[in-house]
Amino acid sequence: MVHPGWVCLLQSLLLLARARQSRGPAGACPLRGKSELNSFLWTIKRDPPSYFFGTIHVPYTRVWDFIPENSKKAFQQSHVVYFELDLTDPYTISALTSCQLLPQGENLQDVLPRDIYRRLKRHLEYVKLMMPSWMTPDQRGKGLYADYLFNAIAGNWERKRPVWVMLMVNSLTEVDIKSRGVPVLDLYLAQEAERLRKQTGAVEKVEEQCHPLNGLNFSQVIFALNQTLLQQESLRAGSFQIPYTTEDLIKHYNCGDLSSIIFNHDTSQVPNFINATLPAHERITAQEIDSYFRQELIYKRNERMGRRVKDLLEEYPNRSFFFAFGAVPPTLLPVSVSSMATSRWNPSPGAMDDSVPLAQTPAALTSSPTPSCSHY
């Protein structure tokens, strides 16, 4: 199973102290009752209908009650369920693992600047030390042990590519650790689809998610890793609050509040994250990374996935599809990114998460059935 709560990559790169004030209790949507639930269901009008559903990588128990019946029914009634990756295929997991590794014979210590390596090592030692105290009684009750969890997430870190280590470091915070152990929504849906003996499939290949991340160049990766470490270091020192937490994310999801996160591309862009305290050359690097990811992980991916969705719909006109893709920022990231931990009651180690912003996926389908947004 996996991870969740992760700070969106772009944000983690651009982090930079943009503290958020509003932090609702327990991720509940304060503005609405359960009668006005979120809806991340889009219907593709045809006969039988097909659907897009926006998922999220947080423990499904945190959001399940806020998902309206119509979405659950659409899932149950669909013949075929498609995810971004085939989460139930062991190949997916092994391919992900190897894609994250440095070339044979290389080690992080050989690759990273000495200062960064030393800080990384120190930070991971800190995390390992803190892990037992971060875990909840509930997690321990389920047999999840700190050592096990640490190894599941960070074991073998010296062999990982710097970009993956950077992402890993981001997912090793107290809040995120606390949410491990319950399947994230995507995984839960995949398990349900299996249990209900639905046909399942994937629109992406592991390599398609993994390679773009490996495509950042060295100076960009070092910048990102450095920024990530700086953030974690000030977190440790108590002088910094993570600007965007899993709780915020859950709340936005439960509120059906896609717009504040996704549609708001322009305002969520770089200038907001990068404030005047970042030196000019670093701001430029951050911007380059941002646009690289937008291009590779959002636009190109949306197009590719959109094409595949369209092909499927055309090829099987009388099947009802349910496409479950990521809907919110952490899910701007591919499944592969957030899939670093396993938990012992999860039969498929390593598995998943997900994503492309749903808001854009349908847009890539302009020439085919126009998905209409059905907010109930």
Ligand X SMILES: *[C@@H]1O[C@H](CO)[C@@H](O)[C@H](O)[C@H]1NC(C)=O
Nearer to ligand X, 139 or 226 (CB): 226
Backbone φ and ψ of 87, nearest 5°: -75, -15
Segment near ligand X (CB under 6 A); pick from 58-66, 70-78, 214-222, 360-368: 214-222
Select the span of 24-32, 58-66, 269-277, 367-375 touching ligand X (CB under 6 A): 269-277
Which tokens in the block code for residue 98? Answer: 């190897």
Radius of gyration, alpha carbons of the chain: 20
The answer to whether 235 and 248 are in contact (CB under 8 A) is no
Considering the complex, what minimum distance in angstroms separates the CB of residue 316 from ligand X?
8
Stretch that binds ligand X, among 103-111, 128-136, 273-281, 354-362 (CB under 6 A): 273-281
Cβ atoms of 160 and 336 within 8 Å: the answer is no
Task: Kindly indicate which of the ranges 25-33, 48-56, 220-228, 342-350 contains the residues binding ligand X, using the contact rule CB under 6 A.
Answer: 220-228
Q: Is the peptide bond before 48 cis (omega within 30 degrees of 0)?
A: yes
Among 288, 344, 349, 369, binds ligand X (CB under 6 A): 288
Q: How far is the CB of 348 from ligand X (least distance, A)?
A: 29
Contact stretch for ligand X (CB under 6 A) within 1-9, 65-73, 122-130, 216-224: 216-224
- Contact between 246 and ligand X by CB under 6 A: the answer reads no
> Coil, helix or strand for 172?
coil
Output 28 or 312, the one with its CB closest to ligand X.
Answer: 312
Query: Is position 280 an interface residue for ligand X (rule: CB under 6 A)?
Result: no
DSSP assignment of 185-238 equals HHHHHHHHHHHTT-EEEESS-HHHHHHHHHTS-HHHHHHHHHHHHHHHHHHHTT
Around Cβ 90, how many Cβ atoms within 10 Å? 12
Count, residues near ligand X per rule CB under 6 A: 17
Using rule CB under 6 A, residue 156 touches ligand X: no
**Residue reference for tokens 């128990």:** 61
Measured over the CA atoms of residue 83, residue 93, residue 124 and residue 188, the dihedral's sign is: positive
Residue 337 · residue 167 · CB < 8 Å: yes
**Residue selected from 61, 76, 77, 275 as contacting ligand X according to rule CB under 6 A:** 275
Closer residue to ligand X in complex, CB, 39/220: 220
Which residues bind to ligand X, rule: CB under 6 A? 17, 113, 115-116, 217-220, 222, 226, 230, 275-277, 282, 288, 318
